[in-house]
Amino acid sequence: MHLTIDYRTDYRFSCPQQRIIQLLRVTPGSHAGQTVVEWSIDVGCDARLRSHVDGYGNKVTMIYVPGPVDHLSISVWGEVFTEDTAGVVRDADEPLKPEIYLRSTPLSAVSPEIAAFAHRAAQVERDRLSWLHLLNREIHRRLSFDTDKTDVETDAATAFAAGHGVCQDFAHIFLAAARAEGTPARYVSGHLFRRDGADRQPAAHAWVEAWVDHLGWVGFDPTNGICADDAYIRVATGLDYAQAAPLSGARTGGGEESLAVDVHVTMAQSQQQN
């Protein structure tokens, strides 16, 4: 598919800020099945931008904004060609060994309930790939998608016990379950083209990749119960949300902050006309 992404983030502050620093993981890389044609980041005020690649292989942009400023707008736009690789990720920048992704984190720590859930599934499906597909389906079946019950600090155990959450929570539960049975798994943030026509979304998407011998990394989306296909655009990976979040930062100036996010993922006009 030929996809376009228009991703806008607006911060407003109740009083002028003296300084703002933002870390952005919003720039995807090219690999087999994903070719970035064009990508840009625009900041709606005077700012300095510095780019680098982090330890996970993610493209990172640092934004430094001098004050006083009471509003910060960040616009990301790009075009990407995607192909369906049945979830298998090849030729991506891989600075770390898969074993690193066996590490637990506070957000993805396994609970006794998640460990038991993962082990029961492993008794049903002995083949590792089949077991991962079963985990994906069962997490999708057991949890309800609810944007009002969790936040970015909710961990896997809490979301699993509650039985609901957002894509971040579904991903953290999958990570905990996979690692509990000795399978490396990592968090992925990116974008999803909605085939149901819902091209405007309130946030970026999240899913996971698990390591399968003889295949490599394979993408699973427990929120939708499917493998990642040509509707998915990979942007960043990490041990959990904290290492792959699209935006994070700090500010000096006090007061309250409000945040509005608008993500628009569509097919390019050239493909719509075909």
Q: Per-residue pLDDT tens for 59-94?
A: 999 999 998 999 999 999 999 999 999 999 999 999
pLDDT band at 161; cut points 50, 70, 90: very high
Residue 96 burial (CB count, 10 A):
14
d(CA 81, CA 17): 39
pLDDT band at 148; cut points 50, 70, 90: confident
pLDDT of residue 198: 78
pLDDT band at 150; cut points 50, 70, 90: confident
Q: Report whether 248 contacts 63 (CB < 8 A).
A: no
**Assigned CATH topology for domain 2-81+246-269:** Immunoglobulin-like (2.60.40)
pLDDT of residue 203: 87
pLDDT of residue 272: 56
pLDDT over threshold 70, residue 176: yes
pLDDT of residue 274: 53
pLDDT tens readout for residues 116-128: 999 999 999 989 9
Q: Give the domain ranges of the chain.
A: 2-81+246-269, 85-244
b/e sequence 152-189, b meaning 16+ C-beta within 10 Å: eebbbbbbbeeebbbbbbbbbbbbbbbbbbebbbbbbb
Q: What is the DSSP letter of 174?
A: H
pLDDT of residue 133: 97
The 3-state secondary structure of 73-127 reads EEEEEEEEEECCCCCEEECCCCCCCHHHHHCCCCCCCCCHHHHHHHHHHHHHCCC
pLDDT band at 273; cut points 50, 70, 90: low
> % helix / strand / coil in the chain, to the nearest 5?
25, 45, 30
Residue 51 burial (CB count, 10 A):
11
pLDDT of residue 42: 96
More confident residue, 179 or 152: 179
d(CA 229, CA 163): 26
More confident residue, 102 or 201: 102
pLDDT tens readout for residues 14-71: 999 999 999 999 999 999 999 999 999 999 889 999 999 999 999 999 999 998 999 9
Pick the CATH number of 85-244 from 1.10.3720.10, 3.60.15.10, 1.20.120.10, 3.10.620.30: 3.10.620.30
Instruction: Using a cut of 0.85, tell me whether the model's pTM lies above it.
Output: yes
pLDDT of residue 59: 96
Q: Which amino acid is at 27?
A: T
d(CA 7, CA 210): 27
Distance of CA 61 to the CA centre of its chain: 16
pLDDT tens readout for residues 197-247: 777 888 899 999 999 999 999 999 999 999 999 999 999 999 999 999 999
